[in-house]
Copies of this chain bind each other. A is one copy, B any other.
Amino acid sequence: MGFLKNKEDIQQKIKSLRKSSPTVTELVQGILNGDTAALGRGITLVESTNSSHLENANTIIESCLPKSKNSIRIGITGVPGVGKSTFIEAFGKLLTDKGKKVAVLAVDPSSTISKGSILGDKTRMQELIRNPKAFIRPSPSGKSLGGVARKTRESIILCEAAGYDVILIETVGVGQSETAVHSMVDFFLLLKLAGAGDELQGIKRGVIEMADIIVINKADGENIKQAKIAKTEFERALHLYPPKENGWIPKVLTCSALNATGTDEIWEIIDTYIAENKKNDYFTIKRNQQNMYWLEQTLDDRLKNQFYQSKKVRSLLDTMTQNVLEHKVSPFRAAEELLKSYWNANQ
């Protein structure tokens, strides 16, 4: 009966764990004390789709919000194979060596843990995962980018309240997710590879324009020469863009994440950038703009959802779309018809 006894033991243990489930106040206190277990539990609540968790999640967020102003948020993107995990491993080590606490989050709406999401496979950051100054959390699951982005953005707040100095937010550079990440970070880093036509592959139009720095990775061994050529080409290209709102002209650097060379220079640039932007207030202005962006974006998404999910609209949308495509009505007229029926139904 040793087997049964063992089973009872385990059940007992689970029960006692459940009983010891911390209150919201305890969780908040834990997060503010930098307790990673509490932080993990808090993020789980924020990520939960269970509506009974919503109130607790909101309480935690609002308790953490006032403490969330003193970090640097860095977005990192690049196509698969560019070496994002290796880069974050090297860059994270550099930062923790400098005494900084580093949190790594991700936005990847397509991923689920079972599908091997970015950061899901923690073996790819073996050193950082064991580093007591680092906290790594895979992308929250979810099909809608809006939902995933919201969860990550609120997790940032919890990490900041827990005292993390630098928040790295990873995303794959192949969808709409870069725009979402770009709108939640202070600095946006684009990883690229030299040569092999990579300049033309995979990366979405518009991502280059978002970058505050372009880092040519894998500048090691035989690649060094190619990387330097790519650097010059990008520098030349970036000069044809207008400077950013704060006057910043994006930098181009080479680096070998594998050999951990070049990362120090990257950090110096980011550090200087942040210091300057704090001095001229652009740091706060941008964060405020981002908050307004997320307020508007959320309103927009929810208004649209409500509209497209209404019965009236669903029964009419196909016909109206067809009429537009068959040149029977203009898109503007079709929109008016749909809105009329939606608003009549809701009155």
Contacts and interface: CB of A to CB of B under 8 A. Distances in A.
Interface in A266-295: 288, 291-295
A59 B209 CA distance: 43
Contact of A154 (B205, B332, B346): B332
B240 A295 contact: no
Interface stretch (A94-102, A118-126, A196-204): A196-204
Given A62-B328, A237-B236, A204 B242 contact: yes
A18 interface: no
A333 B58 contact: yes
Given A69-B327, A154-B332, A240 B208 contact: yes
A333 B237 contact: no
A314 interface: no
Contacts of A331: 291-295, 298
A209 to B, nearest CB: 5
A325 interface: yes
Contacts of A294: 331-332
Contacts of A166: none
Contact of A303 (B237, B298, B307): B307
A65 interface: yes
A250 to B, nearest CB: 11
Given A233-B236, A327-B69, A332 B292 contact: no
Contact of A328 (B65, B295, B299, B320): B65
A222 interface: no
B330 A65 contact: yes
Contact of A157 (B201, B302, B330, B339): B330
Interface class of chain A by DSSP? helix
Interface in A307-322: 307, 320-321
Given A302-B339, A303-B304, A303-B307, A333 B240 contact: no
A333 B294 CA distance: 10
B329 A65 contact: yes
Contact of A205 (B62, B200, B242, B327): B242
Given A292-B324, A303-B307, 18 more contacts: A62-B333, A65-B328, A66-B328, A68-B327, A199-B239, A200-B241, A203-B242, A205-B241, A205-B242, A236-B236, A237-B240, A291-B324, A291-B331, A294-B331, A295-B334, A295-B335, A298-B332, A303-B303
Interface of A: 58, 61-62, 65-66, 68-69, 150, 153-154, 157, 199-206, 208-209, 233-234, 236-237, 239-244, 288, 291-295, 298-300, 302-304, 306-307, 320-321, 324-325, 327-336, 338-339, 343, 346-347
Closest 3 interchain pairs by CB?
A: A298-B335, A294-B331, A295-B331
